Copies of this chain bind each other. A is one copy, B any other.
Amino acid sequence: MTDRQHERALRLAVDLIIITVREGSLQVLLIERDNEPFRGMGALPGGFLRVNERPEDAAVRELREETGLDATRFHLEQLPLYGDPDRDPRGRVVSVPYLAVVPDLPAPVAGSDASAARWERVDAVLAGERELAFDHEQILVAGLERARAQLEDTTVAAAFCGESFTIGELRSVYEVVWGTPLDAGNFSRKVTKTEGFIVPTGERRATSSGRPAALYRRGPARRLHPPLVRGSSEAGSD
């Protein structure tokens, strides 16, 4: 078998699904492509793997280059790759998606390469208001489903919050990401009784109105047993 790699060299790309909860909605970090193909369309941040570079290192580097974010502060989870031969018109590009869940950050773009990086509402993107380049919508959908599943049996929801947060804020993360209301009382009991999920700081925070809530920070536990199952509670305030 002859070595004809030069005919159509295979390249490996990393793509980043960076999601957060902002302004009461689930949002994803997108860049605007300023090169062909798909010029002007939205895309997940990402880029090609360098020779002798580990995929995860490439993900951290690309995120910094394109958005100014420091991914070493977050947990990046590698998801199954996308490798259809014709998924990229530029040639044979296999994409490795990385998922990160981050708190509401002040501004995604610092003094960065592609300064067109910005948060966009996931519901708007999936409703077709913002068309994504390549198969990035498909990759995004898979990443979202993964994140939703992760909320069930990991403590990753706390990664959506800042350093300290109230139980109501944490519940809001679940509600926004899952798109379903949860019973406030039952949720409160669940997270406080799950060893190591959240630890009280002793302080309180006054919200706009109502009784001020106790503040917590993320605990050492990373897995939730028993899990916090989706599609459970239907009760809301209305």
A interface residues (Cβ-Cβ under 8 A, vs B): 4-12, 49, 51-55, 78-81, 83-85, 92, 94, 96, 226, 229
Bound-state Cα–Cα, A55 to B49, Å: 18
| Identical copies of this chain, number | 2
Which residues of chain B are near A55, meaning CB under 8 Å?
A: 81, 83, 94
CB-CB nearest in chain B for A56: B83
Partner of A94, one of B7, B12, B80, B85: B12
The answer to whether B85 and A53 have CB atoms under 8 Å apart is: yes
Q: A51: which of B4, B79, B81, B96 is its contact (CB, 8 Å)?
A: B4
Listed by A's residue number, 27 A-B pairs whose Cβ atoms lie within 8 Å are: A4-B51, A5-B9, A5-B11, A5-B51, A6-B9, A7-B51, A8-B51, A8-B52, A9-B9, A10-B10, A10-B11, A10-B12, A10-B49, A12-B12, A51-B85, A52-B85, A53-B85, A54-B83, A54-B84, A54-B85, A78-B80, A78-B81, A79-B80, A81-B81, A81-B96, A83-B96, A226-B229
